C-alpha cells in the first residue's frame, strides 16, 4: 500500500483474491450447513419411524413363543 491509501496492483490483486476466497468460503459453508440440517431432519424422521424397544421386545417374545410352539408340535408329530 502506498502512503496515500491507494492500493498498488499487487495489493489490489491480493485484496480482490482474498475477498473472492472469502465469498466462496461463506457460500460453501452456508451450503454445507444447509445439507447438514437436511441430513439431521432425515435422520430424525427415520428414527421416528423405527419401532420402540418395547414393541420390538414384545415382537421378539411372540416369535420365540411361536418357535417354541412349532417345536412342541414337531415333537408331538414325531411321537405319533
Domain positions in the chain: 1-49, 50-80
Share of the chain above pLDDT 90, in %: 54
DSSP state of 7: -
DSSP state of 3: T
Q: What is the pLDDT of residues 48-57, one digit of tens each?
A: 888 888 889 9
pLDDT for the residue numbered 5: 64
Q: Tell me how far apart the alpha carbons of residues 59 and 51 are, in angstroms, rounded to a whole number.
A: 10
- The list of the chain residues with pLDDT below 50 reads 1
Please state, as a whole number, how many other Cβ atoms lie within 10 Å of the Cβ of residue 28.
10
pLDDT for the residue numbered 27: 95
User: Which residues have CB under 8 Å from 11's CB, separation 6+?
Assistant: 1
Amino acid at each position: 500500500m502506498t502512503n496515500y491509501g491507494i492500493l498498488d496492483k499487487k495489493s489490489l490483486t491480493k485484496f480482490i483474491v482474498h475477498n473472492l476466497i472469502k465469498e466462496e468460503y461463506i457460500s460453501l459453508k452456508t451450503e454445507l450447513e444447509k445439507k447438514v440440517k437436511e441430513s439431521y431432519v432425515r435422520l430424525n424422521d427415520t428414527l421416528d419411524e423405527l419401532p420402540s424397544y418395547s414393541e420390538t421386545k414384545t415382537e421378539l417374545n411372540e416369535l420365540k413363543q411361536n418357535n417354541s410352539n412349532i417345536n412342541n408340535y414337531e415333537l408331538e408329530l414325531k411321537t405319533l
